[in-house]
Amino acid sequence: MNKTNASYLIAAAGVALLIIGVFFIKTMEDPQGLLRALPCICVGLGSGMFGHGMGEIMTRFAMKHDPAAAKQLEIEQKDERNLAIINRSKAKAYDMMVFVFGALITAIALMKIDLTLVLLFVIVYMLILGYGTYYRVKYSKEM
């Protein structure tokens, strides 16, 4: 499947999820357990998928109709300076996320929220830190 068809498929799946989520929000009376959050997750996921798919479709449409802009965009995406800026901004965001996410977990734990939710946040937090540590070790061996 080429990227254009995948973009249309992602956008269509996003619209479907969005419609399903809104339908369940409007029709379900007194949902219990997971059904309280599932429609909202469908709306959020559907919106994100639709936005991503439509963004890809519009970018391809613009590139097809303006070859000069497409060539300029390709040059900018492959420029080493731009890649260095992007990687540096990701590193700064990761550094900030470690402290903010840790503080959020602490605040949630102090508010005596359900232990399952706190443990879920802690597991995701540890997964992210483990992922960062793995690549730090991997890249230090390569360089």
Whole-number pLDDT of residue 1: 65
Residue written as token pair 């080429």: 2
Radius of gyration of the chain from its Cα atoms, rounded to whole angstroms: 21
Please tell me the pTM assigned to this model. Answer: 0.60
Task: Write b or e for each residue in 69-84: b if 16 or more Cβ atoms lie within 10 A of its Cβ, otherwise e.
Answer: eeeeeeeeeeeeeeee
Tokens of 59: 């970018």
Tokens of 52: 């991503």
Q: Which residues of the chain have pLDDT under 70?
A: 1
- For the stretch 24-50, pLDDT in tens is 889 888 878 777 888 888 999 999 999
Query: Using an 8 Å Cβ cutoff, are 50 and 11 in contact?
Result: yes
Domain boundaries of the chain, sorted by first residue:
1-78, 80-143
